[in-house]
Amino acid sequence: MADKVEFELVSPEKLLTSQPVDMVVVPGSEGDFGVLAGHSPMISTVRPGVIDVYEGDRIVDRVFVAGGFAEVTETRCTVLAEEAVPVAEIDRAKVEQAIRDLGEDLEDAKADDERARVEAKLAIARAKLDAAGASVTAH
């Protein structure tokens, strides 16, 4: 077990996973970072993106996270996610509709704080669409 790292993914609703893995790659706010057993302790913010979970040299699980925090110790990587959805369960049509709706909300936004809130939601929705493999949409 010394060559494994305990990976925990927690959403506001529940503990989504807790399992020993060979490596986990997390979308940190300063760039993606990989965690192996024996990693130096650190805390990082997490940007919207995909967490890749590895067994050996292959990805066995991919989970979209909308942001949050990650705490890493020598034996554990815990991600506290604002939202977490398995990539395979992302409904592209729903996300595309949400992007259209948020675009309209952005046009209607009057105050700066409202505009910033909508822009943040729009960034998360676009990252979710990218995670679903739809980043080749026409612009």
Name the one residue in this structure whose structure tokens are 């949409």. 137
- Whole-model pTM: value is 0.84
Question: CA 92 to CA 33: how far, in whole Å?
Answer: 27
**Virtual torsion, Cα 90, 94, 96, 100, nearest 10 deg:** -150
Tell whether the model's pLDDT for residue 39 goes beyond 90.
Answer: yes
Q: Radius of gyration of the chain from Cα atoms?
A: 16
Tell whether the model's pLDDT for residue 16 goes beyond 70.
Answer: yes
Query: Tens digit of pLDDT for each residue in 108-120?
Result: 888 899 899 989 9
**Which residues partner with 45 through β-bridges?**
69
Tell whether the model's pLDDT for residue 135 goes beyond 50.
Answer: no
User: Domain ranges in the chain?
Assistant: 5-88, 90-131
Q: Are 7 and 45 in contact (CB under 8 A)?
A: no
Multiple choice CATH, 5-88, 2.30.30.30, 1.10.3720.10, 2.60.40.1180, 2.60.15.10:
2.60.15.10
